[in-house]
Amino acid sequence: METEKFDSIGNSKSLQHQTNNNKQYSQREYLETSPISQTIVGCETGRHARPCKIEWLESIVDQCKQAGVPCFVKAININGKITNKIEDFPENLRVRELAWRKQ
């Protein structure tokens, strides 16, 4: 049985999963999924924050724009400091779209 592939933003007509029938995986089902309706991205904060490259955020913002998915950039790392002040963001990352608000 062929598995459907996801595009770069995570859209797919169906999601494949296996169901457990008497402890045997004897059946595969496809569930309908809806497209992503909102994306919120940003750097982690705190002592154990993992790296978050600007290029990663730029890629996500670009993919969302191409797919028509609202994107909200919460915080970014500028010169080793995390900021959520949108006026400090590079122009292409000054994105604060919310799916539940009319733009």
Structural domain of 69: 36-103
| Domain identity same for 67 and 103 | yes
Q: Are strands 76-78 and 71-73 parallel, antiparallel or unpaired?
A: unpaired
Global pTM value: 0.64
Instruction: Quote the number of domains for the chain.
Output: 2
| pLDDT cut 70: percent of the chain above it | 65
102 pLDDT band (50/70/90 cuts)? low
Residue-wise pLDDT tens digits, 13-59: 433 333 333 344 444 555 455 578 899 999 998 889 899 999 999 99
- Mean predicted confidence (pLDDT) in 91-101: 93
| Domain identity same for 59 and 81 | yes
46's tokens: 């705190």
Residue-wise pLDDT tens digits, 48-59: 989 999 999 999
